[in-house]
Structure formats: C-alpha cells, structure tokens
C-alpha cells in the first residue's frame, strides 16, 4: 500500500509517526533510553547510507558532466555563471536575515536568568567550537585556498568533510579528459557513464527505506530534546530564523523561478519537496545530494550535464539557509549581551558570513563552527553560542532544507541561461520518487 503513496507523503507520515513515538516514549520512565538504543540506530544507518553515496556520486556525476562539455570555454562559462549566482543568492539570504532580526530584535527577549542557565548548560560545547575556530583562523587568510588542493585524493575522498578537495580533483580530471583525443578518452568516459548509472540505481534502493529512516531520526530527536522551558525562552530567536527561511523558501525562490526560468513556483516547490524533507531529517546537504540531483534532473527538467556540475558544487559552497542563520544568530547574540550591532558591523557580517558559508562543510552542525568566526569579526564573545545550542538542531534541519532548495533554484537558473532547461525527462510521472515508464 505504501508504494502507491507519493514519496513526500511517505516521508511526512514517517516524520509525524516519529514525533508521536518520541513524545509517547517520554511518558514512560526510560522510554527515551529505549528510543535511543532501539530506534535511533536505524536513523543513523539511513544517514550513513546517504553519506556513503555522496563521494561516489560527486566523482561519477562531475566527471561525466565536465567531460561531456565540448571544450574548456563551455566549462568556464558554466562554472562562472554557477559561482556568480551562488554568491548573489548567498548575499541576498544574509541580507534577508539581517532585515528580519533587526525588525524583531529577538535578543531583547532573553532575560538574565535564562542567559545564565543556557551558558551553564552549553558553555563547554561553545568552548569546543571556539577552540576549533581558533585552529582554523590560526592557519592564515589563504588557508582556504590551500585546503582546496589535496595532497592525496584517496585521503581526501575518505571524508565527506573534504568534498571541496574531491570536487577540485574531479574537475581537474574532467579537464584532462577534454584535452586528450576522443579515441583515448572514450573508454574512460564509458566507464564513468556506467559507474554513474550504478550509483543512481543504488540511490533508488536507499530511498526505498527513506520513510523508515526519517521516522527513526525524528523519534530520536524528540526523545533527546532539552527542556521545554529553554525552547520557550528562545522562541523569539527561533521564530526570527524560521521567518527569514520562510521568506527565502516561499518568496525569493518562487519569484526567482518565475522570473528567470518561466516555470511555475508551485511546480518548483512541489517537485523539490522530497529533497527538502530528506534534508530536514538528515541536516546534511551532502547526505541529501543524491536526492537533490535526482529531483533536479528528472522532475525539474534540468539537463544532466548542468545538474552534474551545479548541484555538487552547490552542496559545498552554497549555504543560503546557513548564511541567513549566521547573520540572525550573530545579531541575536549581540543583542542578548546588550550590544546593538552597527551598520558597519552588519556589513562585516555579510562579508564574513559569505566566506564562512563557502568554507562550511556540508554536514550537520558545521555552521556553528563558522559562526564563531562571524561573531569574532564584530567583537562578540563566541561563548554566546551557548545561547542557541538548545534549539540549534531543529533550526539546522530547517536551514538545510533551504540550502538544498537554493541549490535546485540555481541549477534551474543556470540551465535556463545556457539553454538546457526543458520539461522533466519523465513523460508520465507523479510525485513519487520513482518515475513511471512511458507506455
């Protein structure tokens, strides 16, 4: 029966049942322990399966995408447009966050008692993030460029956190394929074309268990959540972030889709929704990448060549939701400490958050580490991170959904600009993840 239900509804059902099970477990002594020991592992397995696909997918799809280009001018044209649009959308996202946080001023709702309670509960976590950020800063201003170039591709490919290094190597490899004679490159291209098909089929198999994995993740999230009094104290901050993300999701992207691609906003949001839901449950753009690419190509009509280049790059450098959150969080923490951020400091936030979003790994919680650098750029103590740890997890889930939506939006805009946006590849299809075959 479940297989007749569209994927996004299956995932929503899994999420809702997970929340209910998590709440029910809290009504029993040691109920949360049961969920953590016997339910959460299945969610962890689901995330691991998705992460398992990330590096192989990037290698196969990017090599195919780059090598399919006719010459280097085509690659430079596609790359320049992709990165330029990603930078523009990130700046817009940060600006939206700053406008919303300056309007609501959520930091003024945090009282001294709540501040002390949060600092006591999460101060150690904040200190750990500050130490990690100090190590990053001590490496010098050009370290980010150094980190892009791996000294060992096998070592780089051993961690999803090194995705930018893998992308550098793969693009370099693809350029090599373009430059050698066609007869020499043909066997290599044929291998990676087949390799890409195998990876996509493996992703199909993983997505069969997506509703169950999401169920386990949501049940564990509820069972492990901190006290509700902390959520109440930080409600204004959470609503500010959610409002900013909603503006991106339901205003900026839909309007952009209509203006720059001519497609319906409903068409866009409807067909990217399964990727949004997987992103919400995993809090990882990298883990969601296989689903994002499938939806963009098969259901939004973006040519595979564009999808294979734009989406992997976006999962690494395009973090609209994360950058918006960093802007809101920096101002919120400043306000909570009694410091109203000046216009000049907010310009600094835009610039620093832009660089931080590019440098953030596409994995859960990476935004917190980069937020330390944003806070220090305006002279605010990173210990203030403790104020937002309590509700960072659910907000991380929301901003990851926005991140992958931004990737899909940019893929459509880039495809339209190079004449590679058409109707979805599937002639007869519905909202299910698996396309129906033509009759």
The predicted pLDDT at position 401 comes to 93
Q: Judge whether residue 81 has pLDDT over 60.
A: yes
User: What is the distance between the alpha carbons of residues 123 and 318, in angstroms, rounded to a whole number?
Assistant: 29
Q: Judge whether residue 224 has pLDDT over 80.
A: no
As a whole number, mean pLDDT of residues 194-210 equals 82
Higher-scoring residue by pLDDT: 267, 73: 267
Query: What value, to the nearest 5°, has the Cα angle with vertex 400 and ends 298 and 367?
Result: 140
pLDDT > 90 fraction of the chain, expressed in percent and rounded: 23
Average pLDDT score over the chain: 79
The predicted pLDDT at position 334 comes to 83
- Choice among 176-190, 232-246, 285-299, 334-348 with the minimum mean pLDDT: 334-348
Annotate the chain with three-state secondary structure.
CHHHCCHHHHHHHHHHHHHHHHHHHHCCCCHHHHHHHHCHHHHHHHHHHHHHHHHHHHHHHHHHHHHCCCCHHHHHHHHHHHHHHHHHHHHHHHHHHHHHHHHHCHHHHCCHHHHHHHHHHHHHHHHHHHHHHHHHHCCCCCHHHHHHCCCCHHHHCCCHHHHHHHHHHHHHHHHHHHHCCHHHHHHHHHHHHHHHHHHHHHHHHHHCCHHHHHHHHHHHHHHCCCCHHHHHHCHHHHHHHHHHHHHHHHHHHHHHHHHHHCCCHHHHHHHHHHHHHHHHHHCCHHHHHHHHHHHHHHCCCECHHHHHHHHHHHHHHCCHHHHHHHHHHHHHHHHHCCCCCCHHHHHHHHHHHHHHHHHCCCCCCHHHHHHHHHHHHCCCCHHHHHHCHHHHHHHHHHHHHHHHHHHHHHHHHHHHHCCCECCCCCCCCCCCCCCCCCC
| Max avg pLDDT among 147-156, 240-249, 355-364 | 240-249
**φ, ψ (nearest 5 deg) of residue 238:** -60, -45
| Max avg pLDDT among 35-39, 202-206, 346-350 | 35-39
Higher-scoring residue by pLDDT: 232, 317: 317
The predicted pLDDT at position 317 comes to 75
Judge contact between 277 and 416, C-beta under 8 A. no
The predicted pLDDT at position 426 comes to 47
Q: Judge whether residue 290 has pLDDT over 70.
A: yes
Q: How many CB atoms lie within 10 A of CB 304?
A: 18
State how far the alpha carbon of 52 is from the alpha carbons of 18, 47, 165, 290, 329, in Å. 24, 8, 17, 10, 31
Q: Which of 354, 311, 314 is nearest to 330 (CA)?
A: 354
- What are the tokens at 393? 């997890």
Q: Judge whether residue 435 has pLDDT over 60.
A: no
**φ, ψ (nearest 5 deg) of residue 302:** -85, 135
Q: What is the CA radius of gyration of the chain?
A: 22
Split at pLDDT 50, 70, 90, the class of 21 is very high
User: What is the distance between the alpha carbons of residues 163 and 311, in angstroms, rounded to a whole number?
Assistant: 12
- What are the tokens at 114? 């709540």
The predicted pLDDT at position 436 comes to 37
**Domain spans of the chain?**
2-417
Output the pTM of the full model: 0.67
Judge contact between 152 and 45, C-beta under 8 A. no
Higher-scoring residue by pLDDT: 147, 262: 262
Q: Judge whether residue 388 has pLDDT over 80.
A: no
Q: Judge whether residue 145 has pLDDT over 90.
A: no
User: What is the distance between the alpha carbons of residues 93 and 356, in angstroms, rounded to a whole number?
Assistant: 13
Instruction: Pick 2-417's CATH classification: 1.10.3860.10, 1.10.510.10, 1.20.120.330, 3.40.640.10.
Output: 1.10.3860.10
The predicted pLDDT at position 235 comes to 81
Q: Judge whether residue 431 has pLDDT over 60.
A: no
The predicted pLDDT at position 415 comes to 93
pLDDT tens-digit profile of 45-79?
Answer: 887 887 787 788 778 877 877 776 666 776 777 88
- What are the tokens at 188? 């290599």
């Amino acid at each position: 029966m479940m297989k007749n239900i569209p994927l996004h509804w299956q995932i929503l059902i899994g999420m809702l049942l997970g929340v209910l099970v998590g709440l029910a477990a809290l009504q029993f002594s040691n109920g949360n322990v049961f969920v953590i020991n016997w339910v959460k592992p299945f969610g962890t397995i689901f995330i691991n399966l998705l992460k398992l696909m990330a590096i192989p997918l990037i290698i196969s799809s990017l090599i195919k995408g780059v090598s399919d280009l006719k010459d280097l001018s085509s690659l430079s044209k596609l790359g320049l447009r992709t990165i330029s649009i990603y930078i523009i959308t990130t700046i817009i996202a940060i600006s939206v966050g700053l406008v919303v946080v300056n309007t609501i001023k959520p930091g003024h709702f945090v009282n001294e008692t709540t501040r002390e309670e949060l600092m006591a509960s999460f101060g150690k976590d904040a200190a750990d993030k500050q130490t990690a950020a100090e190590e990053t800063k001590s490496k010098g201003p050009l370290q980010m460029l150094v980190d892009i170039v791996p000294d060992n591709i096998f070592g780089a490919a051993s961690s999803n956190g090194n995705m930018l290094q893998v992308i550098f190597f793969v693009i370099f490899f693809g350029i090599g394929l373009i430059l050698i004679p066609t007869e020499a490159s043909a066997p290599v291209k044929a291998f990676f074309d087949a390799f890409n098909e195998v990876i996509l089929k493996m992703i199909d198999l993983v997505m069969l268990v997506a509703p169950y994995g999401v169920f386990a993740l949501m049940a564990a999230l509820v069972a492990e959540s901190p006290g509700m009094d902390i959520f109440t104290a930080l409600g204004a901050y959470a609503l500010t972030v959610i409002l900013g993300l909603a503006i991106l999701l339901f205003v900026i992207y839909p309007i952009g889709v209509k203006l720059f691609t001519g497609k319906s906003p409903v068409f866009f949001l409807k067909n990217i929704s399964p990727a949004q839901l997987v992103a919400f449950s995993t809090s990882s753009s990298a883990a969601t990448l296989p689903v994002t690419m499938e939806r963009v190509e098969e259901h939004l009509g973006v040519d595979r060549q564009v999808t294979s280049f734009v989406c992997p790059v976006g999962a690494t450098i395009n973090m609209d939701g994360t950058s918006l959150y960093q802007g809101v969080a920096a101002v919120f923490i400043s306000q909570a400490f009694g410091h109203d951020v000046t216009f000049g400091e907010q310009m600094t936030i835009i610039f620093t958050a832009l660089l931080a979003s590019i440098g953030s790994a596409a994995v859960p919680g990476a935004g917190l580490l980069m937020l330390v650098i944003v806070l220090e750029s305006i002279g605010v103590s990173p210990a203030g991170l403790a104020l937002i740890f309590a509700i960072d997890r659910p907000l991380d889930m929301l901003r990851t959904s926005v991140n992958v939506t931004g990737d899909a939006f940019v893929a459509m805009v880039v495809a339209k600009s190079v004449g590679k946006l058409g109707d979805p590849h599937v002639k007869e299809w519905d909202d299910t993840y698996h396309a129906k075959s033509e009759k």
